Amino acid sequence: MRRSVRFLLAALALTLEQCAENEAGPGLVGKDVSPMFDSTRYAAVSARLRDSFVLHDTAFCDSVLPLFDDTALARIHPGRVVDGFVSDLIGHDAPQPDTRKRFDELVVYSGAAVMRNWRDYVEARALQNAGARQQAIAAFEPLLARFEEDHDTVGIASVSKRIGSLYLDLGDPSLAAVHLLRARTLEPRVDLRSSITATLGRCYALTGNGDSVRWCAARLREDAVNALNVDRRDERATVNAQWLLHLAMLLEPARDSLHKATAQASALDALVGDHDSHDGFLVASEPGARVETLVLRAKALLRLRRVREAISALGPAEEELARCTECLPQRLAYLSVHADALADLGDLRGALHVQQERAEVLALNEVGRERLAVEQARAKALSIEQEAEADRRLEQERAGARRMDIEHRMQRVLLMAMIGFVILFAGVLFVQARVRRRMQLEQLRARLSRDLHDDIGSTLSSINILSAVARRKAEAGDEAGAAASLTGISERTQRLMRNMSDIVWSVDPEQDSMEDLLARMREFGAAVLEAKGISFRFDGTGALHATLPPLVKSDLYLIFKEAVNNAAKHAQATEVTASFTHGNNRLRMTIADNGRGLDTSGPASGMMGGNGLRNMHARSAEMKADLRVRGTPGQGTTIDLVVPL
């Protein structure tokens, strides 16, 4: 029977495992699965990946990349594959064609939207890094809508930051600020958020919004005391905050603020230059930002009528513009304020020459805007084509899903059949248990019938005989003899009543709990022993509410009665202790007295009352219990019974 149960359970487990494998998809089953399926290990690797690609720790990114190169992982957890590959591609300054190719293969295999979106992000980012700003915007703008549709906040923040910086480079700081503010709101990392905040403040400075510039500076000061920046001793947030406060002062109309700002210019330049040399990327030290700062200083000096100082302040701008050939808006602003300064100085010819140069740069910038419109139209056409291709692949995936659904239905039918067999088998076991209990009750009834015939029959016979003897003695005038016979009749009647009460109790199903058994034992022991002046102590521990089989309950009680009666009649004890312990599917009963003891090596008669010891062993054998009787003359007797339940 047990072998059948194990077989059915094993078959059911196998069916469930097959269902789980099919739900997981191909590639998951096998020994060589990626360790990135383990969520705990993935969380640890992912956290360090975020730091590694920000700090350009390409060694770590390359070392963990093979863990994410898994087709099953791409199908089941595409976001995890994105973390591994995108972090590696972003962490490297140089292109990684092999990594890009493998990522593209996993994107095609997975078909997941999150992988397609981040692959396109990497491609658009490469366009931006190559200087193709118009094409990059044309690629980023539809990608932003896809990230929004998927509610990918990390993607929205990353694309918004890129679009904002591109519009800033193209000379539209107002539109750039909208995207950068959104990116700052969604960016969770303080170091990246600080960089976005500094760039956002730069946009506000270009639009002349001094209050917003100060707000950005305040946010940077909050970021500066963040635990991450403090632990790394990264002071870029502090430096950028001071730079933004300098720009805000240059925008103030009050002359005192302008004088103070121009006086701090040299110290700020030294601070920016010092940190740019060892802290990494610093917004304040970008060539475009440096030119914008010099232009604002020159404008402030012109308002203070310090024209020659304004022209001198513009001197380093040429060097910065030489480092940034694509900084057309900054060159336009520089040429405009330079022309104004020359005109204020009275050099009209020089001012005209600068204005002509500005017109040439402006023409180049207009060409760039027209090119952007063309690229946007091309990107729209490409987006339509990609959507059509995505619809075709989606239909293929739906067809595959329908096939998988049919397979799953068949497996569910098989699973239900297996469950039905298990329920049927459990029903058979239940019926067998019921039959076994009925058999136990029949055995109990048969034994009770035998006891009634033997015990009650013999007792009634002796009462009949004693009644006849008492009648004859009464007729003969022997009152003492008649009284003795009547006393014997009374004792046998009381014993018969107790036996009948025990029989009724043993067959009562409402009295089958361990608690009921112990209560009856306690009552019997106290009645027998305390009447003879013997101290009686009774203890019970464990699951006392457990139900006992009728035969076990009856045999336990009869063994207890036999032991207590022997202690009361033969042991000459002054103290009897009974303890019961129920646990680990075992019941232990121990009865000990401090009487004259029992010589267990001798015959079984004497103290145990003839057949007493044999009856106890017979009843313990019926319960398949272990009965041990230990006694030493003069030191008492201990009866130890262990019953398996």
Taking only the tens place, the pLDDT of each residue in 357-403 is 888 877 766 545 545 554 555 566 667 777 778 788 888 888 887 88
pLDDT of residue 621: 86
Residue 201 pLDDT > 80:
yes
Give, rounded to a whole angstrom, the gap between the first and last alpha carbons of the chain: 19
* In the predicted structure, residue 67 carries a pLDDT above the cut 70: yes
Residue-level pLDDT at 551: 77
Which of 81-90, 430-439, 603-612, 623-632 is the least confident region? Answer: 603-612
Find the CATH number of the domain harbouring 540. Answer: 3.30.565.10
Burial of 230 (0-12, 13-18, 19+ CB in 10 A): exposed
Nearest by Cα to 567 from 602, 542, 601, 537 = 537
3-state SS record for 167-195: HHHCCCHHHHHHHHHHHHHHCCCHHHHHH
Within-domain flag for 436: no
C-alpha dihedral, 463 to 467 to 473 to 479, nearest 10°: 80
> Residue 182 above 90 pLDDT?
yes
Rounded average pLDDT over 409-414: 86
Which has more confidence, 218 or 25? 218
Residue 347 CA to residue 338 CA, distance in Å, equals 11
Q: Could you tell me what percent of the chain has a pLDDT over 70?
A: 81
pLDDT at residue 109 above 70?
Answer: yes
- Residue 619 forms part of a structural domain: yes
Q: What is the pLDDT of residue 448?
A: 64
Integer Cα distance of 488 and 467 in angstroms: 9
For residue 407, being part of any structural domain is answered with no
Look at 240 and 280; give whichever has higher pLDDT. 240
Is residue 174, in this structure, part of any structural domain at all? no
**The pLDDT value given to residue 241:** 93
Q: Calculate mean pLDDT across residues 313-333.
A: 85
Instruction: Give the total number of structural domains in the chain.
Output: 1
- Residue 393 vs residue 76, higher pLDDT: 76
Q: Given pLDDT bands bounded at 50, 70 and 90, which one contains residue 5?
A: very low
Q: Quick check: 100 pLDDT over 50?
A: yes
Whole-number average pLDDT of the chain:
81
For 516-572, the pLDDT digits (tens) are: 888 888 888 888 888 888 899 998 887 777 777 877 888 888 889 888 888 888 888
The reply to whether 376 falls in a domain is no
Q: What is the pLDDT of residues 159-174, one digit of tens each?
A: 999 999 988 888 889 9
Say whether pLDDT at 304 is over 50.
Answer: yes
Q: Which residues span the domain enclosing 629?
A: 511-644
In a domain? residue 368: no
pTM of the full structure = 0.55
> What's the rounded mean pLDDT across residues 117-129?
90
- pLDDT single digits (tens) 423-462: 888 888 888 878 877 776 676 666 666 665 555 666 666 6
Tell me the C-alpha distance between 258 and 297, whole Å: 9
- 24 — pLDDT class (breaks 50, 70, 90): very low
Nearest-CA neighbor of 155 among 184, 205, 125, 121? 121
Residue ranges in 476-545 assigned as alpha helix (H): 479-506, 514-529
Residue 215 is assigned to a structural domain of this protein: no
Position 74 in a domain: no
